[in-house]
Amino acid sequence: MTAARDQDVFLGFDFSTQQLKVLALDSELRILYEDKVQFDSDLPEFRTQGGVHIQEDRLTVTSPTLMWVQALDLLLDNMKTRGFQFSRVKALSGSGQQHGSVFWRKGAGHKLTTMDPEQQLSHILQDSFSVPQSPVWMDSSSRTQCDALERAAGGALRLSEITGSKAYERFTGNQISKVFHTRPEEFYQTERISLVSSFAASLFLGKYAAIDFSDGSGMNLLDLSSKAWSDVCLDACAPGLRPLLADPVDSSSVLGSVCLYFVKRFGFSETCSVVAFTGDNPASLAGMRLQPGDVAVSLGTSDTVFLWLQYPQPALEGHVFINPVQPEHYMALLCFKNGSLVRERIRDQTGGSWDKFSSALSSSPLGNNGNIGLYFDVMEILPAACGVRRFDADDNEVASFPPHTEVRALLEGQFLSRRLHSERLGYHISPGTRVLATGGASSNRHILQVLSDVFNAPVFTIDSSNSACLGSAYRALHGLLKQSGVSFFDAVKNGAEPKLMATPDPTANQVYDQMLKRFAQVEERVLLESRPQI
């Protein structure tokens, strides 16, 4: 670590699905240190694959709660061995995989307040969880509870109006309801329920941390308009749930100082502040410094779209959360399963290299002569369909496309879908719109050019391999400065600027505005034909 001894340091942690990561910034927002613990390889005794356990029904997916505690032990021990100066840390924050839940056993709160710095956290807390296997976002076993919640709320759309999303199996309220109905003994042994984010913050505080507004929005329990738990939703999930959650707080709240355990064991300052932890997606929004009007597109194994919204539209698709850096506004999230793996398959089938893939794009015109393709190798979320469908300029279905047409049909179809569903959540292109592209495919300028053309906006890239960690460190800094009235964007104004990678073709707006209307009709046709016939 190279920071001067008088330089303040801000830490960001990310408890993701597969690993625990940390990033340190100095007060000039320069990255000083990065480290991680891989759950599968560094903690093999927990026998996880991809950080999780997938049960025989293939629907139930969990992670060992104690594994996350032990990972923090290992990470901090490694930092100490490498000479990290914990005493310079002015504030810390973090993120956790969204929707995951931690059930603290009765008596665990007392253990948190009396932790012995001579012992590892994992030893102190080994019996502190009434549900030792935490449900995580990959779980899809709570359909019965989702249906019950929607009925109680007055339907799926009404639930979306209240909480920002219709009922989803992975959302925490439905997972809590499943524990209550199927494992009541464990439920009644519980004295507090945390999200992964607030669980992690609790470790540093030495007491139970509040759930923040933004991550709390991913539970199907928080009323977005009042920023308080919805009585209707709480009652539908489990009796007596409110005291197990406690009141949610602003995402930039300073929750307190690190507890004496970390002061004595690792040398943290007693004045080091703990800023509320949030979900990994909200933290990534902060890390990308997304601004009003921007859209972020992550081009990974699955593609994700983040939007900054002032006035969200309730919908039966996508998710709306309270904005983590400006709580009067919102962020929307859309997830598409068929991302880079499909792009790689088409690459292999049409030439076998990214150079040939890019050449095919360059040799095909904007709008692809009216040809449209939908490529769903696995069951898609938006729309709920599977299979590959190709349509010519007259909307007649065809069996195949020439290679150069196939490549462009894939990318235009993917990006038209991202734009279509973004607009349905309230996003609209304006003269100042920027697209911030991240993920593996964002390194291909030809792919980014299609993205720019379809959205009719300039595309920028940032180094976001640790965007959730970076956003958490930014939020740690902002949490301190906000008390003096400093906005998030003023707090992080010295961060690295995104790089301009592509600007839209002058004809793009005319081409894709019309194509989007056709695409919506084609997608609706595919969706209707994918539904089971009764």
Q: What is the pLDDT of residue 265?
A: 98
Amino acid at 70: Q
Question: Is residue 227 helix, strand or coil?
Answer: coil
The percent of residues in the chain predicted with pLDDT above 90, rounded, is 87
pLDDT band at 425 (very low <50, low <70, confident <90, very high): confident
Please state, as a whole number, how many other Cβ atoms lie within 10 Å of the Cβ of residue 16.
Answer: 18
Q: How many residues does the chain have?
A: 534
Q: What is the pLDDT of residue 534?
A: 47
Cα–Cα distance measured from residue 11 to residue 31, given in angstroms and rounded to the nearest whole number: 10
CB 24 within 8 A of CB 1: yes
Mean pLDDT, the chain, rounded, equals: 94
pLDDT at 438 over 90: no
Residue ranges covered by each domain of the chain: 9-282, 289-461+504-534
- For the stretch 346-385, pLDDT in tens is 999 999 999 999 999 999 999 999 999 999 998 888 898 9
CB 333 within 8 A of CB 304: yes
Q: Which CATH architecture has domain 9-282?
A: 2-Layer Sandwich (3.30)
Cα–Cα distance measured from residue 440 to residue 360, given in angstroms and rounded to the nearest whole number: 20
- For the stretch 17-55, pLDDT in tens is 999 999 999 999 999 999 999 999 999 999 999 999 999
pLDDT at 146 over 70: yes
- For the stretch 453-465, pLDDT in tens is 999 999 999 765 6
Q: What is the pLDDT of residue 533?
A: 52
Cα–Cα distance measured from residue 141 to residue 139, given in angstroms and rounded to the nearest whole number: 6
| 11-15, 54-58, 146-150: range with lowest mean pLDDT | 54-58
Residues 6 or more apart in contact with residue 53 via CB below 8 angstroms: 47, 61, 62, 63, 64, 133
Q: Do domains 9-282 and 289-461+504-534 have the same CATH topology?
A: yes
pLDDT band at 6 (very low <50, low <70, confident <90, very high): low
Q: Which CATH architecture has domain 289-461+504-534?
A: 2-Layer Sandwich (3.30)
For the chain, what is the largest distance between any 2 Cα atoms, rounded to a whole number of angstroms? 73
Distance of CA 478 to the CA centre of its chain: 20
Continuous H helices in 114-212 = 121-124, 143-153, 156-163, 172-182, 184-188, 196-205
Q: What is the pLDDT of residue 4?
A: 44
pLDDT band at 302 (very low <50, low <70, confident <90, very high): confident
In the block, tokens 């902002």 appear at: 478
User: Taking phi first (over 0 means left), then psi (-120 to 50 degrees means alpha), and beta for anything else, what does residue 387 get?
Assistant: left
pLDDT at 212 over 90: yes
pLDDT band at 3 (very low <50, low <70, confident <90, very high): very low
pLDDT at 72 over 70: yes
Rounded CA Rg of the chain: 23
Distance of CA 243 to the CA centre of its chain: 26
Q: What is the pLDDT of residue 2?
A: 46
Cα–Cα distance measured from residue 91 to residue 13, given in angstroms and rounded to the nearest whole number: 12
Question: Which of 341, 495, 524 lies closest to 10, judged by CA?
Answer: 495
CB 116 within 8 A of CB 124: yes
> Who has greater pLDDT, 427 or 127?
127
pTM: 0.90
